Structure 1
């Protein structure tokens, strides 16, 4: 089980690294910029989570996460060089998968280290969304999580499902599956039907 969870983590890191690489391509960055954006997108949220929880940063102990980032960035660069296009719809689905996996993994890690349910939901959401937020700030873009898109909200929803399952003595694997599918289903529905939160704006 632990080995499967590790591979899921690596998959999520690779997906978000691809997202960072695409942003670097859009902004005409050099090779160093590609590595920086791919890295902060992929491991920024988890790094911040571990620092807040006063834990060893996960990629320092397991450098294979960095290898996954470099490999994903390299493959994306080669693909763009050959085709000059990328299947963005597929990337959105992959990003939704990565979001769901990171949310559940971050939430579970926080619970394992003794946080309460509310803080665990915050940690899961932070793990999933803060990498992309940092990426967008670096690129002077309004972060997706702040523009009304159902993004962080899906993590909160999935986290609440996870916690509710633990409160009714559901098995850990079933709680993880419920949180993961809840996050993923709501995010995919938001992508397909363009669901958004009300945007705060004044009258003109």
Structure 2
């Protein structure tokens, strides 16, 4: 139940971030919904395809579709509450990658994959909805810039497997990696930490 709640919260967080980007690009309501939908479910869809899950999760469980629709509508209605665009987008995107990292890792564990593959799957789940969002909105995806983004997801995945070595309740094993991803991302932005570039300035 806790795992399912995390998955739905991640869907909400990413749907809001998608809506905010779409509104900033001044798309029409249908365009806003498409960007919100792709952002919320794109990473999970790629994850399920890689795992050979067919049909993908959101086609079987309509709750995800209703959550996205409801979130998009509410985000549009209360868009004035999200007036601080950059900060709000950053927060929802950060929460989304934290939640979806754990969901992806857990899916990999359930499929019996090697821990490294589970971490890769968690990173894909967390990042590729945003990648699709940015590409469709004609932006360079955050994951391809110098910002600490995918790295935060990887550290969250690593912390997940470290915690499994100890006798800790599953809810805590889920929660702490989410916090790790969010804190690493927040600290990276606050202190302007970036990955090194191969190009000369």
**Whole-angstrom distance in 2 between the partners of 1:162 and 1:84:** 32
Question: 2:189 matched to which residue of 1?
Answer: 191
Q: Is the 8 A contact 1:147 1:199 kept in 2?
A: no
* Matching residue within 36, 39, 49 for 1:38: 36
Which range is displaced more, 20-29 or 115-124?
A: 20-29
* Matching residue within 24, 48, 51 for 1:50: 48
Please report the TM-score for the alignment, with normalisation by the length of structure 1: 0.89
Which range is displaced more, 151-160 or 23-32?
A: 23-32
**Whole-angstrom distance in 2 between the partners of 1:143 and 1:35:** 19
Question: 2:59 matched to which residue of 1?
Answer: 60
- Ranges in structure 1 where 5+ consecutive residues have no aligned partner: none
Deviations 1:33-57 (A, max 9, x none): 1111101111100000001101131
**Whole-angstrom distance in 2 between the partners of 1:77 and 1:173:** 33
**Whole-angstrom distance in 2 between the partners of 1:29 and 1:145:** 23
**Whole-angstrom distance in 2 between the partners of 1:122 and 1:200:** 23
**Whole-angstrom distance in 2 between the partners of 1:171 and 1:67:** 31
The count of corresponding residues between Structure 1 and Structure 2 is 200
Q: Is the 8 A contact 2:20 2:89 kept in 1?
A: no
Question: 1:94 matched to which residue of 2?
Answer: 92
* Matching residue within 143, 146, 154 for 1:145: 143
Deviations 1:153-174 (A, max 9, x none): 0000010111222245655333
**Whole-angstrom distance in 2 between the partners of 1:178 and 1:171:** 11
What SS is found at the alignment partner of 1:140?
A: coil
Q: Is the 8 A contact 1:158 1:180 kept in 2?
A: yes
State the 4+ residue runs in structure 1 displaced beyond 6 angstroms. none
In the TM superposition, residue 109 of structure 1 has moved relative to its aligned partner by 1.1
In the TM superposition, residue 69 of structure 1 has moved relative to its aligned partner by 1.0
In the TM superposition, residue 188 of structure 1 has moved relative to its aligned partner by 1.6
What SS is found at the alignment partner of 1:7?
A: helix
The answer to whether 1:127 aligns with 2:125 is yes
Question: 2:76 matched to which residue of 1?
Answer: 77
- Ranges in structure 2 where 5+ consecutive residues have no aligned partner: none
**Whole-angstrom distance in 2 between the partners of 1:41 and 1:84:** 18
